[in-house]
Each structure stands twice: as structure tokens, then as C-alpha cells.
Structure 1
């Protein structure tokens, strides 16, 4: 097939929609398809389901369906052009089709749009936003081979926002110039260990004041690298009780059928990879666990399996957890804003975008600072590959820690997580 002969298109199409009882209704829908320029033959493509699922089925107007369809078509035609030019980064798409699509390809398209001098607002609010929705759809439909993990946060208005995955140093994505400050995604509380520990402690203590029912969950994200959905899926049997040695492991399991049968949509309650998850040993973590258990004992649980419940005994869902986390986040930022001498901390946390996933980022950097290499860290994080772990570390820290890790673990074939944590973890900063 000669790619030069084909172009992607988006257009409105009239169809007859079956309503039941032998009744038909004429309906206008948006279709994505491919046209043969030589023959003029146009064929609808199954990727049209993206528009149906994300926009039509959620009640969006025709124009609100056509706008993303047109932008995605431009992106797909850009990919065709790169394939025709023989760009090496795009060869995987010629081999695998949509399964070969990766974040790097979206990043290259954003850079292409910037080089065309398109307006910053248009690139951010339309092109990048629709690309994020497109990749999110392909990921949820399990149509991509690349493992993509989207991070979200709740803004001060209470709206959930997906953090762009394209703004990462390894992609070198170029955006149009703007006078508006670009808000970076915060992956950690800083690369200085003392500074990080201070902020971690203060943030968890703020949670104990503002949203005590998730304070222990936040601590588990930081000390065990759990995702939001993995936290809310915990039940009593899966949580250890000591937390004073590296031999402690959380059983990360999918307990949705026990906890969330009442929810129609459980996207925020997903467990990405069931596993035994090592926990960084800490007196402080044990203290938080005991406080959590005392708090749970005071409420009558609506669901006996639930480990995380609110003050009325209701099971905390992923969405509720995310909103409570946002409440803690903004309360802590406001506290810093009103504390003399804390401007740099306030500025760092207020200027960046971050959500519940930052706990996993902090955990990752703790592992790097302990000297684990990328393979060992992937094991400790419960990842399939080393690529996700590397995304949390800037190049300077990564190079430094890899050099240290190679010296310490060069002869190690397998990782004894408990042994490593016992020897290298020291959490004296949290001693009372």
C-alpha cells in the first residue's frame, strides 16, 4: 500500500438509527475514515469509536465531536507523512499500526505544531488536550503496546485535570512561545533529602488535621509507592501491622467486587498490577497505622471489608480519595503561604501541577537515593519494565544514582528487598 495515496478525514455522516419496534431515526454522526486519493473511495475507520465513546455518548454536540475528530485526523496525517519520510522514530507504527503508537509521537506532533507558529493557547487547549484524550482512550481500550500511566490532580475548583504526559525532558517537546508561565508537573518534593523529608512529614501531618481518614493512605503512597486505586482497594487482611522492618509487604489486590459493587464506573478504583509490595520500614508509619485503626474503631462501617472509610463509615472510593487529597494539598499550600520564611517551599508546590501520584514519585526517588538501580527499582515498584521508574528522575539525579548503584549492586543477580531496606533506610527525621 502506498501511503501517499491515502489521507485521513473527518466528516459528518447521516445514518439511520434503529430505535426498536421497527422504528428508524435519521441521525447525523461524526466519522473518521481514510480516503484513496486516486479512486476517490472513502472508508470509515473503527477508530471512529473514539469519538463515539469520548464525546457522542457523553451528550456532546456535533461541533464538540467534530473539533476533536479534526484534530486527531491532522495528527494521523502527520504520522503518515513521517512514515513516508522514513523517520526512524515512527517505524514501529508501520510495523504494529496503532499498537505501535507511543507518547513520543504525540510529543513530536506538538513540536511540529509549535514550529508552524500556531498559537500557544490553541496548541495547549485544543491540540494537546485532544491528544491526551486520544491516548487515554487507546490505553483504556488496551490498544497500545506502550505502558502509559496518566496522572491527574483536582484543582481548586474541584475539577479533575489530566496532567500532560508529553511535557517530559526525554521528549524535548517544544511549545509555542507565551508570556504565561508554564506549569510543570511535580514528581517529588525536591531532590534534597532533608527538604523532602521535612515536606513529607508536614504534608502528612496536614492530612491528619484536614482529612485524617486518608492520612495513612497518603503515607502508604509515599512509603510503598501505591497508586490511588491500590490504596482504596486495601482490606484488613492485606495490610501488615508492624512496619518496622523491610520484610513487611502489602498485598496489593483488586477488591472491587467486595468494596465497590455500588459504583457504575470504577476507573478510579483500578488496581494496575496485583502484587506483594515492599514497604519502607518506619516508626512513623506504624504510628500512623495505629492512629488509623483507632479512628476506624470509632465508626460503624457500611461495608465490613473496607479499610478506608470516612467519618460516617462509608467506603472511600478513588474519586473521594482524590478530592480529599486535593483538600489536604491546598490546605498545606495555604499554610506555607502564611508561614514566614517558607516562600521557596510555597512557590515550588503552588506553581507546579501535582496530585496523588506524587507519593509514588517520592517513593521512587527514595529507592534511587538508597542506591537501587533501574532493574531493582522496577521490582520494588511493581513495574513490568524500568521505563516508568526512570521518568521520575531528572538526568542529573539519575546519572549520579545509577553510578552509585552500579558499584553497590554490580554483583547482585536478584534483589532481596527486605535486606536492602533494613540496611539502608533511616527515618530518624520522623522520630517523635
Structure 2
């Protein structure tokens, strides 16, 4: 069968986009295409418009575009397999293409994913959610023949939410069992300020020992709430020359064009929102910054713009940063596990899911402990809105709140995690 020669794929491509002033701008776009398995040639498919319409044109990040694209490609490749196997339920698709797509096809795909022992939350919260959006799109574009009625409800946040049509009992959709041990997602290093400070300091000291090239980056996540991609996008020009000696901020910008042009996939190098990011004042953070500058001066950078480089001068990408963070995490857990009196801390960190994003959680709680209100916290975190507010923050209020947050954060040395502790890695002291 001719169909066996092809498969659906997702690709991240860089294109030149012509702006209104006749200037060319390089952009990264997500494409769904059909690949010839024999020669590797990929032909973009018009169904890519689903990603553009629902995600790209709404300003979503590359990762927010590539995730639904992969889920849709998973469904389409599953359909191809069923057609090749001669499954009678799928022959209508062989004849009609997308117009023959029905709810039962996606329902069977969800069941297929469930049988692969995928997690319940992943199947319901990711795969099914994107399939709902996909079918809604196909209906709105009049690309399918099946008559589908989508029921909706208004969430507590005032948003219209589509009720999953795959819950219809006639479809017999099977979902993964929820009877399993679920690891909690750790968003902070504890709700006691003293304990949080202690763990932050220890973790940063472990980073200095194991992966010194990213220790300052991790500190910026703790003290400024930067995301992984925002850290690796920093250049020397992103940080004021009087950093923490007068200016308590960094410029979070999308510098992919000068730092990561060599990467085909930049999902982990995305900047969610360009902004001036306030940083919590700390003499300890200043110490880490100075150490980072001295370290950079000892290596010959392959890219002169890069601020985070390894010992060979190679620019640290988001993926590399994530791996290095993981090594710091493993080393820290090992230290805790071998230290008397630290079982509760080790068990809390071991039994939970956490990675680089925990820095934003720690930063948020630093702000919370200083009494910032929702709007001030949203501005300080670089968010577009608060969780409790349904509307976007008015621009003038945002500027006012930002200035207020800067004044509050700069009024005193808020967090100096190393002040009350020995500067040596003394586990007897830490365990008391």
C-alpha cells in the first residue's frame, strides 16, 4: 500500500519574515508535514493552519505550539496504521481524508494511549485536550462531515470550556486508571522562610561545586523568577554594569538569533515574555555574579555575546542547562541522603517532581513573604495577569505597580540566604 511509505511529522523551521519597513526578520515556525520514509523529503500539510490559528497567531510560545502539533501527529499516524491494517472503521478516511474523520477515531486513539500505560493526567490533560481543540477547529472550518455538537460551560475564571465529546458512553473511550502513586509537583522549598533560605543556599553552594557555570543562572531563577529559556538567552549586555550595586534588574530578551542560530530545535530556548525583570537584592547573589564574571574571563567564548558558557567556551543551551541542573539536583539529594538529621528534607525533595521551574516558585514565595499584593507579584514575576483577576492588567497600572514593586524590592536587602550560615559546606551545622 502506498500509505506505508509515508508518515506524519512535526518540524521546527526558521523562516525569513518581511516586516512592514521592508526589513527581514527571522522567525521560528512549527509545521505539520508528510515525510517520505525512503528519501526523507517532507511536504508541509495545510492542516498546519490549525497550529497557526489556535496558537501561533495568538502569540503562544514555540513549546505551546509544538506540543499540540505532536499530539495531532500522533493521532494521524495512528489512523494511518489502522488504515494499513485494514480496520474497517478507518476505510472512510482512506476515501474521504479529513472529511471522514469522526469522534470514534480519536476515542479509539485515546484508548490506544491508555493501553500504553500513559498517565491519566497526561492522557486527559494533554492528549485529549488538544484533540478537543482539533475537532473544534475542523468543525469551525467545515472540514469534517460528521455532525458534532460541543457542549460548553463557563469556568470560575469566566472562560468558556468545551466538555469532552469523547466522554459519550457510546464511544466507549477507555482512560488510564487513577489508582497509582502520584508524585506531587514541588513548587517551593518549603513554606517556612528559614527552611527555604537554608535549602536555597545549600542548593546554590552545591551548584558552585558541581556545575559552577550555571550557579549564577540558578540564583537568578531563585532571586528573579527567570525561566530556563530566559536564563540562557541572557547576554553580557542584558545585565547592567552596576548590577546589584545600583541596578537591581536584568533585561530578559529573546536573543536566539545571536545565541542559538545553530540549533534546529529551540523549544527549550524560548523567552515567554520580554521584559525588565527586577531581582531581589542580596549580597550572596552579588557574590555569585562576581564569581561568574571571573569564570567567564578565564574562557575563550565561541560566541562573544554568550553569558552562560561551559569550560570550553561553548554557549549553554536550554537543553544543556536543564541537564546540568539535573546533575546539581542529583548531587544535592545524594548529600542530603548521606547526612544525619536531614531525612525529612531528602524525602521531600526525592518524593516530588521538580526541575528548573522551581526557581519561580521560590521567587514567588519570597515576594509573598514581603507582602506584595497580586498585581505587584504579577509584575515582579513578569506575568501578564494575576490568577485572581480575569482581565489583563491595564498598562498604566502595570507600570505603576512595577515601579512600586521595584521600590519595595530595593528598599532593603530582602534575601541574604548565606548571612546566618557558615560559608563552608558544613553538614554538621546544616543538620542542627
Aligned to 2:148: none
Give the match for residue 366 of structure 1: 366
Structure-2 residue corresponding to 1:95: none
SS in 2 for 1:299: coil
CA separation of 1:275/1:302 partners in 2, compared to 1, >3 Å: closer, same or farther? same
Q: Which residue of 1 aligns with 2:14?
A: none
- Paired position in structure 2 for 1:132: 126
Matched, 1:300 2:300: yes
1:275 equivalenced with 2:291 (yes/no): no
Shift of 1:382: 1.0
- In the aligned structure 2, how far is the partner of 1:64 from the partner of 1:51? 20
Count of residue correspondences: 303
- Determine the C-alpha separation between the residues in 2 that align with 1:245 and 1:64: 61
Following TM superposition, by how much is the alpha carbon of 1:340 offset from its aligned partner in structure 2, in angstroms?
0.5
Distance 2:249 2:210 in 1: 28
Aligned to 1:341: 341
Per-residue CA distance 1:291-319 (angstroms, 9 max, x = gap)? 00111111111000000000110000000
TM-score by length of 2: 0.59
What residue is the counterpart of 1:185 in the other structure? 185
Alignment map for 1:415-426 (pairs within 5 Å): 415-423=403-411, 425-426=413-414
| 1:248 corresponding residue in structure 2 | 248
Q: What secondary structure does 1:430 align onto?
A: coil
Structure 2 partner of 1:213: 213
**Does the CA contact (< 8 Å) of 1:299 and 1:312 recur in 2?**
yes
Aligned CA distance change for structure 1 residues 328 and 177 (closer, same or farther; 3 Å):
same
Q: 1:127 to 1:214 in 2, by over 3 A?
A: closer
Secondary structure at the counterpart of residue 250 of structure 1 = strand
CA distance in structure 2 between the aligned counterparts of 1:260 and 1:45, rounded to whole angstroms: 25
Match of 2:164 in 1: none
Q: Confirm or deny: 8 A CA contact 1:377 1:389 kept in the other structure.
A: no
| Preserved contact between residue 228 and residue 269 of structure 2 (Cα < 8 Å) | yes
In 2, Cα distance between the equivalents of 1:324 and 1:186?
19
Over residues 237-278 of structure 1, what are the superposed CA-to-partner deviations in whole Å (9 max), with x where a residue is unaligned? 111344546841111111111100100111111111111000
Task: Tell me: CA distance 1:59–1:304, structure 2 relative to 1, closer, same or farther (3 Å).
Answer: farther
Distance 1:420 1:74, change over 3 A: farther
Aligned 8 A contact 1:246 1:422 in 2: no
Matches within 5 A, 1:49-198: 53-54=69-70, 62=78, 73=103, 124-125=118-119, 128-129=122-123, 131-133=125-127, 178=179, 180-198=180-198
Contact 2:281 2:412 in 1 (8 A): no
Q: Residues 364 and 389 of structure 1 are in contact (CA less than 8 Å); yes or no, is this contact kept in structure 2?
A: no
Given the superposition, is the C-alpha separation of residues 413 and 227 from structure 1 closer, same or farther in structure 2, using an over 3 Å criterion?
closer
Structure 1: 5+ residue stretches without partners: 1-11, 18-24, 28-43, 78-109, 114-118, 144-173, 391-411
**CA deviation after TM superposition for structure 1 residue 132, in Å:** 2.2
Please give the alpha-carbon distance, in whole angstroms, between the structure 1 residues aligned to 2:130 and 2:355.
17
Task: Report SS of the residue matched to 1:340.
Answer: coil
Q: In structure 2, do the counterparts of structure 1 residues 389 and 187 end up closer, same or farther at CA, with 3 Å as the change threshold? A: farther
For 1:267 and 1:314, the matched residues in 2 are separated by: 19
The answer to whether the 8 Å contact 1:238/1:251 transfers is yes
Cα distance in 2 between the residues matched to 1:45 and 1:262 = 24
Gaps of 5+ in 2: 7-35, 39-46, 53-65, 83-89, 91-101, 138-174, 391-399, 424-432
Partner of 1:236: 236
Cα distance in 2, alignment partners of residues 240 and 333 from structure 1: 34
C-alpha distance in structure 1 between counterparts of 2:378 and 2:363, whole Å: 12
SS of residue matched to 2:119: helix
Between the aligned partners of 1:211 and 1:58, the Cα distance in structure 2 is 37
How far, CA to CA, are the matches of 1:285 and 1:311 in structure 2? Answer: 21
